[in-house]
Amino acid sequence: MEQNQLIIVAVIIIALIIIKGFIDNNRKPKNSTFKCARCKTREKYTSRTIEAWKRGFNKIYCQNCHRAWLNNNPKQNYNESNNGGCLSVLIVGILPIVIYAGGKIVS
């Protein structure tokens, strides 16, 4: 494969990743309401419950049950960052440069 073709393939892959991110971010549940996993009441989705749904949680709780759970469970120190996806973006962003530079060195 020529260098120009590699660059075009890399740009297409990056574009597809960006488009997939937009599509996944705009996903919403089919119904406007859900059944609380604890008290079984029907509630409208909120930004918190939609985010839980997007993350794949099977049990979603209404605001009252969620608040009760938070009160009964002291805050834990999770070692998580909000930088999800940065490594893959960095790798995909640098990969075409490395491929291009590798092609220059080999030639």
Q: What is the pLDDT of residues 53-107, one digit of tens each?
A: 988 898 999 999 999 998 998 777 655 555 556 777 777 778 777 777 766 665 5
Number of domains in the chain: 1
Q: Is residue 14 part of a domain?
A: no
Q: Is residue 22 part of a domain?
A: no
Q: Given pLDDT bands bounded at 50, 70 and 90, which one contains residue 16? A: confident
Distance CA 23, CA 80 (A): 24
pLDDT at 30 over 90: no
> What length is written for the chain?
107
Q: What is the pLDDT of residue 27?
A: 77
CA dihedral 18, 22, 24, 29 (to 10 degrees): -170
Q: What is the pLDDT of residue 29?
A: 86
Q: Is residue 13 part of a domain?
A: no
Domain that holds residue 71: 28-75
Q: What is the pLDDT of residue 5?
A: 84
Q: What is the pLDDT of residue 93?
A: 78
Q: Is residue 21 part of a domain?
A: no
pLDDT at 13 over 80: yes
Q: Is residue 101 part of a domain?
A: no
- Phi and psi, residue 31, nearest 5°: -95, 155
Reported pTM: 0.50
